[in-house]
Amino acid sequence: MISEESKKRILERVEESFTEETDLLTRLVRTKSIIGREQEAQKLYAESCHNLGLSVEMFTPDKNTIKAHPAYTPIDLDYIDRANVIAEYKGSGSGRSLILGGHIDVVSPEPTHQWTHDPWSGEVVGDRLYGRGAADMKAGLAANIYALETLFDLGLRPRGRVIIESTIEEELGGSGGVLACFMHGVTADGMLISEPSKEKIYVTHPGIRYFRVTVQGKTAHAAYSHTGINAIAKMAPIIKAIEALDIERAERLRYPLVEKQTGRPCNLSMGKMQAGDWVSTVAGWATLECRIGFVPGETRQGVEDEIKKTIREATNGDQWLKEYPPKLDWFGWDTDPWMEPTDSTLVKKLQVTGSKVYGAPLELTGASGGLDARFGHYFGVPSLSYGPTGANYHGVDEYVDLPSLMRVTKTLALFIADWCGV
């Protein structure tokens, strides 16, 4: 246990160095790191870890190695110039070890003309720092560094080993990031991913799968459209059926921790549609790509069967689709629901540590999206996510709330001291 005087000094030191932390976050936001092009930002993060006195490794994943793991999510990108940053403080003696993790990759900011703040500026207005990745999740990456630096500045050395990771491709499933690092041999007594969580502890997320429906039509000149079969029109009843299934699942299923966050147990979203080749040609094909979230108790096979049934019933009686049935493919994200036991030592310890900053134990909740924390249980590492408040992740004018980031950094600094010992 650290003394009350040490706790006070830690909290004060985070405030004193917060301008430096904000400066690092601004530099990270200004360094573009869209999925597949993360290297420049990773070099900046590695340099920051090196300046802290940590042992730094730039680790490049091997696809043949990671694709053998059951949690692997297939992606089309290679790993040339796409390294993970693994920075380590070996510890001063006996104590529990901890991974502080986060992902450097961000999604595209397009359409940029809709932003009122340059998505690559890191502009600060009031209590908000704007930019793509400001909240999701470069703020958490900055907090991880400055939480440990706070202890170093005060002459406090963690007894246990502390590993800071900046990983790639979380937005595509995380296989080349956290999974690859675990398979590389990086492990600890606990892992905390500082994803934006509105200062609550994420202990669960739904299963997630992507699927694609392809419908075949028959091309014809638009002036003779009556002689063709329009794939767009044939897709229409499938779209309506999937929309109805989304509503029905939301009413039928229960997932209290996620409902607490979003008001819904799960979502079935239609995200992308493409059809045809030319405006003056009847569309000879159409594809629809979707994401389905599913709750604990559901199985992959059960989800597949439900989608198959929905498509079959939507197209029942259509002679063309009887002869040329829609094709269903599953691709990309493919993960079961994840749950960290709410009574685990890691969860309980962070709740108690949080009370020193917030005046009450941190609240437990569920994320509606997939989290890198899910990989921990495959390697026997208790894991959770906790990070700052922000808004518009993946949207226009993304920002992180700076007072929230300060509170998170304080909590992380205290947690390293509590978990690892000093």
The string of pLDDT tens digits covering residues 292-301 is 999 999 999 9
Question: Mean pLDDT over residues 296-316, rounded?
Answer: 96
Do 232 and 198 sit in the same domain of this protein?
A: no
pLDDT bin (cut points 50, 70, 90) of residue 261 is confident
From 314, 335, 356, the end of a domain falls on 335
Q: How many domains does the chain have?
A: 2
From 301, 316, 335, the end of a domain falls on 335
Q: Supply the mean pLDDT for the chain.
A: 96
The rounded Cα 218 to chain-centroid distance in angstroms is: 40
Tokens 């409902």 map to which residue? 259
Q: What is the spatial distance between Cα 264 and Cα 409, in angstroms, rounded to a whole number?
A: 30
Q: What is the spatial distance between Cα 346 and Cα 96, in angstroms, rounded to a whole number?
A: 11
Do 331 and 349 sit in the same domain of this protein?
A: no
Cα dihedral 112→293→324→281 (10° resolution): -10
Q: What is the spatial distance between Cα 100 and Cα 94, in angstroms, rounded to a whole number?
A: 18
pLDDT score of 164:
98
pLDDT bin (cut points 50, 70, 90) of residue 22 is very high
pLDDT bin (cut points 50, 70, 90) of residue 76 is confident
pLDDT score of 341:
95
Tokens 């921990």 map to which residue? 376
User: Among residues of the chain, what percentage have pLDDT more than 70?
Assistant: 100
Taking Cα atoms as reference points, which of 33, 332, 354, 333 lies closest to residue 166? 33
Do 164 and 31 sit in the same domain of this protein?
A: yes
CATH of the domain at 221: 3.30.70.360
Do 187 and 228 sit in the same domain of this protein?
A: no
Do 248 and 135 sit in the same domain of this protein?
A: no
Question: Mean pLDDT over residues 386-403, rounded?
Answer: 97
Taking Cα atoms as reference points, which of 339, 387, 344, 347 lies closest to residue 366? 339
Taking Cα atoms as reference points, which of 60, 66, 59 lies closest to residue 378? 66
Do 164 and 232 sit in the same domain of this protein?
A: no
- Whether residue 317 contacts residue 161, with contact meaning beta carbons closer than 8 Å, is answered with no
Do 234 and 156 sit in the same domain of this protein?
A: no
Do 325 and 353 sit in the same domain of this protein?
A: no
The residue that leads in pLDDT, 217 or 76, is 217
The string of pLDDT tens digits covering residues 192-241 is 999 999 999 999 999 999 999 999 999 999 999 999 999 999 999 999 99
Q: What is the spatial distance between Cα 248 and Cα 310, in angstroms, rounded to a whole number?
A: 12
Above 80 in pLDDT, residue 1?
Answer: no
pLDDT bin (cut points 50, 70, 90) of residue 93 is confident
Cis peptide before 111 (omega within 30 of 0): yes
Above 90 in pLDDT, residue 75?
Answer: no
pLDDT score of 2:
83
pLDDT score of 332:
86
Do 118 and 184 sit in the same domain of this protein?
A: yes
pLDDT score of 315:
97
The string of pLDDT tens digits covering residues 135-191 is 999 999 999 999 999 999 999 999 999 999 999 999 988 999 999 999 999 999 999
Question: Which H, E and C letters describe the chain, residue by residue?
Answer: CCCHHHHHHHHHHHHHCHHHHHHHHHHHHHCCCECCCCHHHHHHHHHHHHHCCCEEEEECCCHHHHCCCCCCCCCCCCCCCCCEEEEEECCCCCCCCEEEEEECCECCCCCHHHCCCCCCCCCEECCEEECCCHHHHHHHHHHHHHHHHHHHHCCCCCCCCEEEEEECCHHHCCHHHHHHHHHCCCCCCCEEECCCCCCCEEEEECEEEEEEEEEECECCEHHHHHHCECHHHHHHHHHHHHHHHHHHHHHHCCCHHHHHHHCCCCCEEEEEEEECCCCCECCCEEEEEEEEEECECECHHHHHHHHHHHHHHHHCCCHHHHHCCCEEEEEEEEECCEECCCCCHHHHHHHHHHHHHHCCCCCEEECCCCCHHHHHHHHCCCEEEECCCEECCCCCCCEEEHHHHHHHHHHHHHHHHHHHCC
Above 90 in pLDDT, residue 287?
Answer: yes
The rounded Cα 233 to chain-centroid distance in angstroms is: 35
Q: What is the spatial distance between Cα 101 and Cα 187, in angstroms, rounded to a whole number?
A: 12
Question: Mean pLDDT over residues 387-392, rounded?
Answer: 97
CATH of the domain at 64: 3.40.630.10
Question: Mean pLDDT over residues 233-252, rounded?
Answer: 98
Q: Which domain holds residue 76?
A: 4-205+337-420
From 302, 335, 368, the end of a domain falls on 335
